[in-house]
Each structure stands twice: as C-alpha cells, then as structure tokens.
Amino acid sequence: MKYTIHPAYRSLAAAAILALGAGGAVAAPDWGKVPAKTITVFYPGASPIEWVTKGTEHGGARALKKGESCASCHHDEAADMGKKMASGQKNEPKPIAGKAGSIPVSVQAANDGTNLYLRFAWKQPAGGAAEKMDKDNAVKLAFMLEDNKVERANLSGCWETCHGDARTMPEAKDDKKTKYVKDGSLASGKFYDLMQWTSKGGKFDGYVADKRVMEGGKGLVDAKGEKKGDEWVVVFTRKLAGGGEGDIALAPGKVVNFGFAIHDDHTAGRFHQVSLGYTLGIDAKADITAAKQ
C-alpha cells in the first residue's frame, strides 16, 4: 500500500532536520581534549594606561617603549601585583576589605571552522566585606579582541581602553564616561571587540571605540555559565565571521590580541580582576590557540 505524507508533516520533518543540523553546528567541543592555559587575572587598582606609560611612576614604561609586552615582564608576577593593590599598598586609595588580589583561571579555546569556542574556569575566591556594587550579578566575565590596529594593544592588552578620567577612577569628573580608545572609531578599525556574560543571564556583544557600546555585534551565538560547588565555568560561542558592528572577522591563520576580566563578588566599574594582554590564534601559533576539532 502506498502512503502519502501530508505537506504539513513534511515541513515539520524538514524543520527538525534543520534544527538538528544547527544544534550540531554549535555543539561545544570535547574540552577534555583541548589544552588549557592558566592565566592569572589580578586586581589592578587605579592603574590606568596613563600610569602604565609614565616612567616616573611605573618602571616598566621604559620596557614598553622598547616594544616589550606587559605579559613578558609580569605574567608570573600577576598574583603579587594584585595582592599589593588589593591591600591598598599600591595604586588603590579605597581598598576593599577581604578583596581577592588575584584569581587563577583555566582558559581553553577551539573552533569548528564556523565558530570560536572559549571556556573559562576558576574557583570562587573568598569575598570582600564591601557592599554589593552590582546587586543583580555575583559574577560577570568579559573578553576583548583587538585586530592589531590600536597602538600598543599588542603590548598592553586591554589597558588601552582604561583611562584615568573614566568613571569610578579616583580622578574621574564625569560619572558617565566609560572605557574608550584614544582616537578610536569603528571606521578606522581602532576598536576592541567586546563580549560579556553575567551570572543573571545577560549576554552582550559590543565594542570599545570612542566609548564603550554593549550592543551592535552579531558574532555572539551563545554564552553560558554555571557554578558547580566552588567552581565557575563560562563558555562563549562566537561566529568566526562576526558580521556586526564592532565584530572582528576571524579566520584560520589569524592571530589577534586577547584579554579578559572578571567582576567578582558583585563588583562593578574598575573593581574587577583583569588579565594582561595575550594573543589568540585561530589554527595559528599564539599564547592561546583555538585549534579546529
């Protein structure tokens, strides 16, 4: 006997196949097979790029002018630097009691030819005794990418977006002034691609140019995070091609500048833990390589 499939059921079947295909396209890699790099994020206190480049206050300013990166000098010192600033010993006029000076984070990256996957994992440190600056979010994690267009970004990482006149800085005069890049603009290519996950469930895809914008990007496919016991795990899925405002196009063989930050213990503004500047390569040699799986 010959059976005829109703057109409506054909449509449902086709939709199901497409859904399965789409799900497979964004399936996370086998993280057990992906190399992990430990990067220590640390409390920077009030240390804007103006301080970093001022030789009379920062001894590394001379090395920076010679082309040495901050990470090449401080990768192994991040925890010690964070401890000094969190305690108020250096560059912090308003220390937070109990603030963690640093957090070691396991970072993994992979790609499937269409998407970039980034996984961050760390143990929750003991919290400070300060009031909750961001009552809605116990934790926020953001990362930035830069396409070798911003001066010194390959050396100083995300510090090119951190300025002494930005809000929450001690010398700030405008409480609405956000992170920015000097002479930054999307048109010139001088910007950082920014993505953020928040523990309340927020997902943001924006950029930092002449100001910080938390929307406009079309690269973010998903951002998920959870806490198991005392460990946080956050995974981003990002289209390699990008396609939106402030999205840097990624492709096999390309290397971009990379940095990330964690707002821990309900903090906001500059009271975060930040990484030094590193490189991220798509099937290319870099500090962190997102190899194809």
CATH number for 141:
2.60.40.1190
Q: How many other CB atoms sit within 10 Å of the CB of residue 285?
A: 8
Q: Dihedral (C-alpha) 189, 180, 164, 154: value to the nearest 10 degrees?
A: -30
Q: Residue 95 is encoded by which pair of tokens?
A: 């220390």
Q: Is residue 254 part of a domain?
A: yes
Please choose, from the candidates 169, 182, 208, 163, the residue with its C-alpha nearest in 3D space to the C-alpha of residue 49. Answer: 163
pLDDT per position in the chain (293 positions), as tens? 444 555 444 444 444 433 434 444 567 899 999 999 999 999 999 999 999 999 999 999 999 999 999 999 999 999 999 999 999 999 999 999 999 999 999 999 999 999 999 999 999 998 877 789 999 999 999 999 999 999 999 999 999 999 999 999 999 999 999 999 999 999 999 999 999 999 999 999 999 999 999 999 999 999 999 999 999 999 999 999 999 999 999 999 999 999 999 999 999 999 999 999 999 999 999 999 999 99
Please choose, from the candidates 201, 235, 281, the residue with its C-alpha nearest in 3D space to the C-alpha of residue 120. Answer: 235
pLDDT, tens only, 83-140: 999 999 999 999 999 999 999 999 999 999 999 999 999 999 988 777 899 999 999 9
As for how many domains the chain has, the answer is 1
Q: Is residue 3 part of a domain?
A: no
Q: In this structure, are strands 192-198 and 278-282 parallel, antiparallel, or unpaired?
A: unpaired
Q: Is residue 43 part of a domain?
A: yes
Q: Is residue 249 part of a domain?
A: yes
> Cα–Cα–Cα angle for 159, 115, 195, nearest 5°?
30
Q: Is residue 124 part of a domain?
A: yes
Please choose, from the candidates 75, 123, 71, the residue with its C-alpha nearest in 3D space to the C-alpha of residue 262. Answer: 123
262 is in which domain, residue-wise? 32-292
Q: Is residue 12 part of a domain?
A: no
pTM of full prediction above 0.75: yes
Q: Is residue 78 part of a domain?
A: yes
At residue 229, the 3 state secondary structure works out as coil
Place of tokens 């998407």: 115
Q: Is residue 16 part of a domain?
A: no
Say what the pLDDT of residue 18 is: 39
